[in-house]
Chain A
Amino acid sequence: MSALTFTLRCPPPQRVDLCALTPAQLAGKSLAEIAALPIQTNRAPLCVGDLFALKDGERGTIVFEGGAERLDRLGAGLDTGAIRVIGAVGVEAGRGMSGGALTIEGDAGPYAGSGLRGGVLRIEGDAGERLGGPRAGETEGMNGGLIHVAGHAGDRAGDRLRRGFILIEGAAGDCAGSRMIAGTLAIGGKAGALPGYLMNRGTILLAGGCDEMAPTFGDCGVHGLTAARLLASYVETHSPNLAAAFRQPLRRYAGDLAALGKGEIFSTTT
C-alpha cells in the first residue's frame, strides 16, 4: 500500500502551519476530516484540502509531493512513523521531534530540527540558519536524535546543542555550534568563522576547515583519537564521508575558554 499523500495544488497563499499532519495525529481520521484541518496562520481560513490534494494510503507514512518555503512546522512534534517531503519547506521543520523519520528532499528554512529530542531529520538540500537551535526563551537546542544535511547549513548550526548528532555534508555558516552544551556536530565542507563560539562541552568536527578559528581554543596537537573513532562508527551508517573524516589524524582544539572550555573541535589536517 502506498503512503498517505498530500500533493501541493498551488503555491501557498500564506504561510501555513502543518504541525498537525503527523502519523500519530492523523491516525483514525477520515480523509475528509484531514482535509478539513485548519492550517492558516493569518485570518484567511485555509484548510489542508484547500492547499493539498489528498490520496489515502498507509497512515504510518506520509508523503508531501511538492514543497514551498511557506510550509512551516512540517513534521513538528513527529514521534513515530515517517514523513517524506518532495520539495522545500519553511521554518521549524521537525521542531521538537521525538522519534520517527522526517526526510526533506529539498531545502529547509531556519530552525529546522529546533529542539529535536529523538528520531532522524534528513535534509537533502540546504538548511537555513540555527539548525536544531532553540527558539525564543529556550535554554537548550537539540536534545537528542540526529539531523543529517546533505547540502549546506546557515549560520549558527547546532546552537545550544545538548545531545545528539548534527551531520552536515556541505559547508556551514559562521559560529557553527555556538553555545553548545554537549553533543556532536560534524561539518564536511568548510565552516565559517568562529566555530564553537562560547561552547561549554561537546564535539565539533571540521572536515573542511573553517574561515577563522576563535582565539579562545587551545591547540592540543594532532592525534589519532579513540573518542573520534567511536564517533566514526556511530555516524558511519548516516555519512560514510564524515565517518572517514573522524578516522583521520585530527588536530584537537580545546575550548571555548571564554565559556566552560570543556568542548573540543577536531579538524582534519589535510
Chain B
Amino acid sequence: MLTRIAGGRILDPAQSRDEVGDLWLQGDRVIAAPDHGRADETFDAGGCVVMAGAIDIHSHIAGANVNTARLLLPQQHRAHASRPAATPLANAGWSTFETGRLYAQMGFTTVVEPAISPHHALHAHLELADTPVIDKAILAILGNDDFGLGLMRDGAGPDAIRDHVAWTLQSSKALGLKVINAGGVAAFKDNVRSFGFDDVVPRYGVSSRQIVKTLQRAVHDLGVPHPLHVHCNNLGLPGNFQTALDTIAAAEGLPLHLAHLQFYGYGAEGKLGFSSAAPKLAEAVNAAKSVTIDVGQAMFGQTVTISSDVLRQFSARAQARPSKYVIIDGDANGGGVMPYNYRDGSFANAVQFVVGLELFLLIDDPYRVYFTTDHPNGAPFTAYPDLFALLMSRDVRAQWLSRLPAEALAVTTLASLTREYSWGEIATMTRAAPARLLGLKDRGHLGPGARADVAIYRPGADLAQTFRAAVRVWKDGECVVRDGALTHYRFGRALRVSPQPDAAMTRRVAEYYDARYGLDAELLSVPEAALPREPFETVACPR
C-alpha cells in the first residue's frame, strides 16, 4: 500500500523541514518520494499542516492507581453516547478504549504512563494492551522501595544499584525509571509527614538527594535513553521552588528530567503567601542544559489527582472535592487518589494556571520543555487543545486572564509575556523533542524510514478545535482517524528498554523476595508471553 499525502505544509523540525509538499507512506514507514510512484491512495492535504504523530511523555492513563480513580468516581465519567459499531467500548467513559480513541483523534500516537510500581507492572501492561491505536510505555518507580534503599544504606556500590535498576526495568518491561518524592514515601511509613531534598530517610540513613543522584547515575550508566524522571519533594507547597532549584542544581551536568514543574513553581510572596516563582525556575532551566522538564499545566474544572507521592496526597487530603480520597499506603510508593476541582475564581488555582503558562513561555528551548498537564493531575488530557491555543495566541491568553482574580495576576508576570508559540515550536515540543528524550529513533519525525505515524490538522480560527479533531491520523501507515473520528481499532505496542540483567543481582533479588515475602520474585515480573497480540517493542540503549 502506497499512500501519498499531497500538498500539505510538512512540518518536521527534526529534519528542519517546513515546506508545502508531498509525504509518502509505504507499509508502516515513511518513504522518500518514489521515482515512478503511483499512489494506491492520495489524500489532498492542501491547506493542512502535516506532522508526525504526537508523543506525550507523562500522562497517567493506566494501572492500579488510575483504575482506583475510575472506581472511586463513578459519577464523573458516565458515558453519554452509544458505542459506534466498529469500536467496542470506545464511548465508555474513562475506559482504556476511550483513552486510545481520544488521544488518536488529537493526533497523538505514543503516550507514556509515567508512574508504575514494579509490583503492579503486569496490571498496567494489561490496561495498556487494551488501549487502542497508540503506542505506549511505562516508567517504573524506584526510590522508596526497601530493597533499593537497603542497597544504598548498606553502601552497595554504583554497580549494584545499576544492576538493580536493570533488573527492575527488565522485570517490569519499562521504558525508563521514575522517582517520586525520593525517600519521602519510605519516611511516611515511619510517620514522617514532611520531607525535603536533604532530609534523611529513617532506618535507611540516606537523603533524598543521595537517592536521586544514585539513580540518575545508574540510569545514565545503563545507557537508558530517557534520563531519570524525577517527581521532586514538597510538591504543591508555597516556597517549594527552592526544592526544584536544588534538584536542578543537583543534576550537575548529567541528564535529568523534572516532571510537572508547574507544581513546584510556587513562591511564598504576597499577602496570601503564595506567588509565582516560575521566572526563577525558567531561568535555572535555561541555564542547566542537561535538564529537561515537563510542565504539568493546571486547567480549570473538575479532575482527579492520581499520584504515587503518598506523603503529598495524604497531606493534601482536606482539599479533596468531592470530599473523599483513597490513600494506598502499600508496597514501596503506593498511591493516592483524590478528586479535585480547579476553580478560576480561586486565587491559588489561578496562580497555578499562570505558573504553568509562564514556564512554557519563559523556557527558551522547545527541546527541553514538554507539553503535559500531568493528566489528570493538572487537567485531563482532553484539555490539550485549549492549552495549545493558549500557547499560540496572546489573544486567547488575554481572554482567559480576564476571568482570573486580579490578586493572582498581581503575583505573576504572565500579562507581560508576549511570546506566541509557532507551529514549528509546537511540532518540536510534541514530536521531535519527546522522541529524542525517549530515544525513539523512528518516531517524532517524517524522514524516510520513520514510522508512518502521521497527524494532519486543518488550521482554523478556533485553534483548540483544530487540535481536538485531526483531519486524518495514520498509525503505522494505517489511516485510523477521519475528520476527527476514530474509524476502527488497531493496537499499538508498549515500548521498553531491555538491559541485560546481572545474574548475581537476579539471585540477590530472588533471595530478598523469598526472605521478606516468601514469594518467587518472578511472580511479580511481566512475562512477555502472557500478554495479547505482540505486546512489546524494544528501544535500544546505545551504551
Binding site for B on A (CB under 8 A): 136-140
Contacts and interface: CB of A to CB of B under 8 A. Distances in A.
Nearest to A137: B74
A136 B72 CA distance: 9
A102 to B, nearest CB: 22
Interface centre among A136, A138, A139 (most CB of B within 10 A): A139
6 smallest CB-CB distances across A and B, nearest first, come from A137-B74, A139-B322, A137-B75, A136-B74, A139-B324, A139-B323
Contacts of B75: 136-138
B323 A137 contact: no
A3 B388 CA distance: 53
11 contacts: A136-B74, A136-B75, A137-B72, A137-B73, A137-B74, A137-B75, A138-B75, A139-B322, A139-B323, A139-B324, A140-B322
A126 B324 CA distance: 33
Nearest to B323: A139
A226 B323 CA distance: 32
Contacts of B324: 139
Contacts of B72: 137
Contacts of A139: 322-324
B337 to A, nearest CB: 13
A139 B323 CA distance: 7
Main SS of chain A's interface residues? loop
A136 B323 CA distance: 15
Interface of B: 72-75, 322-324
Contacts of A137: 72-75
Nearest to A139: B322
Nearest to B320: A139
Given A137-B74, A138-B75, A139-B323, 7 more contacts: A136-B74, A136-B75, A137-B72, A137-B75, A139-B322, A139-B324, A140-B322
A137 B322 CA distance: 10
Contacts of A138: 75
B91 to A, nearest CB: 18
Contacts of B323: 139
B414 to A, nearest CB: 35
A260 to B, nearest CB: 13
Nearest to A181: B323
Contacts of B73: 137
B439 to A, nearest CB: 41
Nearest to A135: B75
Contacts of A136: 74-75
A138 B324 CA distance: 10
A138 B323 CA distance: 10
A59 B37 CA distance: 68
Nearest to B324: A139
A234 B75 CA distance: 33
A148 B137 CA distance: 56
Contacts of A140: 322
Nearest to A138: B75
A103 to B, nearest CB: 28
A139 B322 CA distance: 7
A136 B76 CA distance: 11
Interface centre among A136, A137, A138 (most CB of B within 10 A): A137
B80 to A, nearest CB: 14
Nearest to B322: A139
A138 B78 CA distance: 13
Nearest to B75: A137
Nearest to A136: B74
B320 to A, nearest CB: 9
A139 B73 CA distance: 10
Contacts of B74: 136-137
Contacts of B322: 139-140
B83 to A, nearest CB: 14
A139 B321 CA distance: 10
A203 B340 CA distance: 30
A201 to B, nearest CB: 14
Interface centre among B73, B75, B323, B324 (most CB of A within 10 A): B75
Nearest to B321: A139
A137 B73 CA distance: 6
A187 B317 CA distance: 36
A140 B73 CA distance: 13
B425 to A, nearest CB: 41
Nearest to A134: B75
A140 B322 CA distance: 9
A140 to B, nearest CB: 8
A203 to B, nearest CB: 22
A139 B341 CA distance: 15
A136 B78 CA distance: 12
A204 to B, nearest CB: 22
B303 to A, nearest CB: 16
Nearest to A140: B322
Nearest to B74: A137
A138 B74 CA distance: 8
A146 B73 CA distance: 27
A138 B322 CA distance: 9
A214 B38 CA distance: 83
A128 to B, nearest CB: 21
A160 B75 CA distance: 16
B158 to A, nearest CB: 48
Nearest to B72: A137
A189 B322 CA distance: 35
A5 to B, nearest CB: 31
B55 to A, nearest CB: 34
